[in-house]
Structure formats: structure tokens, C-alpha cells
Amino acid sequence: MALIFAVIFATLAFVTVGCASVANLGGGGGDGDTIYVPEGGNQTIQQAVNNATAGDTIIVRDGVYTENIDVNKRLTIRSENGSDFTIVQAANSNDHVFEVTVDYVNISGFTVDGAKGAEWSKSGIYLEANYSIIANNNCSNTTGGIRLQRSNTNTIENNICSSNGFDGIELYVSNNNIIANNNCSNNHGNGIYFRESNSNNNTIVNNICSSNYYDGIALWYYTYNNTIVNNICFYNTNGIYLLESNNNIIANNNCSNNHGWYLFPLFKQQ
């Protein structure tokens, strides 16, 4: 009876939805020069960013890079041979490893760690931008894995976000994003977390969220019109948790060995 009550007041739509396709956002480089790191005056990734022009592609060779990188130009930044061979660890543990504050940035193929400051908001990759792609990264052992804040129409795909101090992937006031094919497991917070208020019209599809201390996927306070389909959520406190959120579509998810689904009624807003 309590579950029926919660569903009625939360006004959730449980329907069958096909797998969402990841959009080609067309951001980053591709129409500029290619810069290699290390090479010439670009011994660090930050030096390459500083020396680049919008539209350039930065290719980072194998190695361990100890730095915090501020990305303020439209760039593609990718490793040459993938995240197993290219590690970026924070020089300042109380800062994001990658901080993106401009639209149309692509970051792919890095292992990112070391953002372990006291503030919960420090992340491996922090995005406050639109139309960007964050793909094929390993964002583990940080305070937070990947955080989107006031960021819209981005694609976050094929990342590993595990063993972080708080959440694997977090959205705050972020809309129309695609979160697809990520593994968000063994985090001390949630696997994928919509933090308090107004992250709407996002698609969460084909993710694995397992063995997180709190919830596999959690929507908190006034998050509307999101689509959550084809995810696997197991060995969490709750598989999928909704608190005061409505008009979301939840379909074809496998939630097993959790305490279960937790739905909290939406109170009438004045």
C-alpha cells in the first residue's frame, strides 16, 4: 500500500523505452591544429592548453602528468593510447583535476585521480559548460568522479567512476544531458546522483551502478522529465531512489540485491 501511495503522488511513468543513442555533439577540435604533449614548449597539458587556439586538438602521449588543468578554450584533449597509459593526478589535491568552463570541449582517454580535498565538490572532471563530450576516462579515487554543474546538452559516456569519496557522476542544475554506458561502482556516495533541484530532461541509459554505499541512481528534489532506462543497479542501499521528483520515465532497469526502489511522494508545491 505504501509503495502504491508513493507512485501515485510521485506521478512516475513506467513505460517501455528503447535504448537512447548517444548524440554527436560536434564539439571540441577537428578544425584546427594538432598539438602533442610532451613536445616543444608543451611539456605539460596545461601548457598545451595555454598555447592552443580554439578548435585545436591536443594529443597527450603515455605517461604520468601531475597537474590541475583549467580548460577555457574549445578544444579536444585526448590521450594517444587510452586511459591505461595516460594518468593525470592532481598537483593540488584541493582542486579539480580537469576543470572545463567553456562550451564544446571533448576530453577522452585519461585516468584521473588525486582530487581529494576536504570539499565534497572537488572532482576528477568538473564541467560547467555545454555541448561537450567526456568519454572513456577512468575517474576513480577522487572526492567525486565527474560533476556537471549548470551544464546542458553534454554526453558523458563509457567512463569508469569508481571508489570515489562521494558520487561517481553528479548533476546539479543540469539539463538535456546523456549519461550512457558508464560504470559507477564502489563509491562512498551514490553511483549517479541528481543533487537537489532542477536537473531535467536527462537520459540515463545502459549504466552499471553497483556496490555504492548509498544508491545506484538517486534523484533528489524537483528533478523532472528524466528518462532512466536499461541500467543495472545491484548491491546498493537502494537501486533507484527518487525524492520529491515527478514525470520521470523508469523502464527496463535491472535492480537486484538492493534494499529496493525507494519512492518518496511529491508534496504539493505552492
Confidence at 221, pLDDT banded by 50, 70, 90: confident
Mean of pLDDT values over 202-224: 94
| CATH code of the domain containing 170 | 2.160.20.10
Domain assignment of residue 146, given as a range: 2-264
Q: What is the pLDDT of residues 78-94, one digit of tens each?
A: 999 999 999 999 999 99
- pLDDT reported for residue 120: 59
Locus of grid cell 508513493: 6
138, part of any domain: yes
235, part of any domain: yes
120, part of any domain: yes
29, part of any domain: yes
269, part of any domain: no
Contacts of residue 40, Cβ cutoff 8 Å, sequence gap at least 6: none
How many domains does the chain fold into?
Answer: 1
172, part of any domain: yes
Backbone Cα Rg of the chain: 19
- pLDDT reported for residue 244: 82
270, part of any domain: no
End-to-end Cα, the chain, rounded Å = 27
- pLDDT reported for residue 230: 97
Mean pLDDT, the chain, as a whole number? 86
Mean of pLDDT values over 231-239: 93
DSSP bridge partners of 172: 149
Q: Which grid coordinates are listed for 238?
A: 537502494
Q: Which grid coordinates are listed for 124?
A: 576528477
Mean of pLDDT values over 135-148: 95
